[in-house]
Amino acid sequence: MPSRRRVRLAALVSSVLTLATALGSCAGPADGDRTAEARVGTPTPGATPASPATSGPPVARHASAPPAEVRLAGGRTYVLPTPARVRPGARRPLLLVLHSFGGTWRRMEHIGQFQRRAARRGYVVAYGIGAQRSWDADGCCGWSNAHHAKDVEYLADVVTDVRRRVPGIDPRRVYLTGFSNGAMMTLRALCERPHLFAAGVGVAGALVGRCRGGAPIHYLEIHGTSDAVVPYAGGRIDWLHATFPPVSDLPGTIASRAPGSVVAIRTHPCGHVWPVGGRCRLDAATIGWEFLRRYALPSPAHHVSGMARGG
């Protein structure tokens, strides 16, 4: 009997360790936050199956080097995969990808296949890394929100650093995309730096602070009508310590602060997920790329003349 008990105990320990390893990528830094972060950081099982649009190996497998984590002068880091080669003198758009609360850049790459898509479209992609796996979206979430992390400044520093390292980045076509807390951060950055970011796409996000305005922004929100984490109809989510407005209010709210903005909403029947087809009936990455490509910032000369006129 003692032998059998030891066998059972060993099997139980092995199972626990296996589960812990599987959840490690979405577990947070604080014990009390782990359940919450796992729910936000990991899409609902079965809601993100492989589809023809997103299947296939990431472009990093074909790159000359694996994605590198780059340290900025201020100490924070981001991930810059090796960009695909382009003809000399070509101008390339830049896309910054922002993970969810409790998520990781690797999870975002897995569900969005951004590197492969960027290579096909001639873009450069970089992945932001939020402090303690969170972003300060001016109302949510986690460590970054509680400690007022300077995430807008961080994202601006990332853009500057990428432009220093990668030739040919087009300053008129710098874009953002993010999931959940990353989508909230996308909105905040667009509102606070409309002359840096040309457009953004958010999935399962919300405007949790006030849009500063000052210039029009271009934003697409993709949201599940069954989302129970960031409800489509809005409401208080106690475990996030956040109150979300109804998603349908977003275009009017932005327009009141930044007249001339383009804010679109696409819905799907799933919950708090990054949809890739299947029962969600749309692929967020495909729709997002098509939205972003429509927008570019005005040329510097146009912007300066507009400022001179008071515009």
Q: pTM, whole model, 2 decimals?
A: 0.78
**Domains of the chain from N-terminus onward:** 68-308 (3.40.50.1820)
pLDDT tens-place string over residues 71-120? 999 999 999 998 877 777 789 999 999 999 999 999 999 999 999 999 99
Determine the average pLDDT of the residues in 214-236: 97
Using omega within 30 degrees of 0 as the cis cutoff, is the peptide bond preceding 141 cis? yes
Residue 38 pLDDT grade (very low, low, confident, very high; cuts 50, 70, 90): very low
Angle in degrees, CA 68, 74, 80, rounded to 5: 20
Give the pLDDT of residue 219. Answer: 98
Can you tell me the distance from the alpha carbon of 205 to that of 210, in angstroms, rounded to the nearest whole number?
A: 14
Question: Do 194 and 217 contact (CB within 8 A), yes or no?
Answer: yes
Residue 64 has pLDDT above 70, yes or no: no
Residue 173 has pLDDT above 50, yes or no: yes
Residue 189's nearest CA partner among 136, 250, 268 is 136
Can you tell me the distance from the alpha carbon of 99 to that of 181, in angstroms, rounded to the nearest whole number?
A: 7
Question: Which residue is associated with the tokens 């080097």?
Answer: 65
CA 79 vs CA 109, 161, 188, 271: distances in Å: 11, 11, 21, 28
Q: How far apart are the first and last CA of the chain?
A: 83
Query: Which two structure tokens, joined as six digits, stand for 252?
Result: 């009017």
Can you tell me the distance from the alpha carbon of 105 to that of 107, in angstroms, rounded to the nearest whole number?
A: 5
- Number of Cβ within a 10 Å radius of residue 276: 23
Give the pLDDT of residue 65. Answer: 55
pLDDT tens-place string over residues 180-190? 999 999 999 99
